[in-house]
Amino acid sequence: MSKVTYKAQRQRPGCLFFFMAFLLLGLALVTANKYTNIFSGIFDKTKPLYGKDEFPDFEEVWSFGQGSNKVVRIAVNGMITLRSNKSVFSRGNSSQMTLDSIRRATLDKNVQAIILDIDSGGGGITASDIIYKKLLDFKKNVPSRKIVAIYGDVAASGAYYISLAADHIIARPTSITGSIGVLIPSVNIFELADKYGIKDTTIKSGANKDMLNPLKEPSEQQQEIAQSVVDALYKRFVMLVSQQRNIPEQDVRNLADGRIFTAQEAQELKLIDEIGYWDDAMTRTAELLKKDNIIIYRYQPKPSFGELLLGISSFSPKAWFNNTPRIQYRWQ
């Protein structure tokens, strides 16, 4: 009987092997990049040493124009709020990107101007005010710097508030602006809850601790308290419009009842300077800088290793579900 022999089958590396190899390679590249940045910052004396949040590590993308006069294009889009989901794969929201971009531009001495590309109905009062203040800091850091704002579909309430930092405001012919005012959006379902036997059992330390509780009818005192806060913040908004747009304060109050305006109306009321398009924003920026040409960049976040590996979106549904009443400069 003949002897049967079997050849050993060579095992081929499976998917797990390739995945682990790819993962280790990625980690090695990320680590190398991290320490390269650290050491380059130490030994390269021309590179400023700033914190990661102070001087965000953005990629600069050539956007428009040519020459050596550097201008940065920064977007203000959507709801203005600096709240964000700080997960491993999340970069926060567009307002945080706006703020980070302004910080980056402020510390880059080569940046001579910012073009604000605005399309927003406003948002949080503090978020709007912080971005407005950082824009003023940008100019204060280098007094020759300029800011030009150009509106998209909407630049209302908090978005208009932000644009007050600009040296020149351009609205497209179809833009809507205005809505100067303050609101505290809140829903009261006291009567509905009472009808179905739903009772409020909030334990509180004072009579006004649960103001705007949707299950309780607000008292007269609580309404007065809320209105006094709104009035104070409204007064600040009106004052800034008066100062930055050189309009008498009473004239601002007459038009600042929350109404919105077309571009033509806003120009007549001196809320904006010009009706035009993107090319006009570029031209006006060069004129303000007294330069023949400008080169415009925009900032783009460098993708994290996790985003490159898994392609995970920065969308966070958590941001859409938050019923806490917030005081807002927003077009409702």
Helix, strand and coil percent figures for the chain, each rounded to 5: 40, 20, 40
Half-sphere exposure in the Cβ direction for 247 (13 Å, CA): 25
Residue 50, phi-psi category: left (phi > 0), alpha (psi -120 to 50), beta (remainder): beta
List of residues 6+ apart from 315 with CB closer than 8 A: none
Contact call for residues 125 and 182 (beta carbons, < 8 A)? yes
CA-CA distance, 157 to 177, in Å (whole number)? 8
CA-CA distance, 105 to 139, in Å (whole number)? 10
Among 84, 120, 128, 157, the one annotated catalytic: 157
Three-state DSSP class for 161? helix
Q: Is residue 163 flagged as an active site residue? A: no
Q: Is residue 209 flagged as an active site residue? A: yes
Question: Quick one: 266 exposed, middle or buried, by C-beta within 10 A (0-12, 13-18, 19+)?
Answer: buried
Residue 6, phi-psi category: left (phi > 0), alpha (psi -120 to 50), beta (remainder): beta
Among 209, 235, 302, 318, the one annotated catalytic: 209
Residues with a catalytic annotation lie at 157, 209
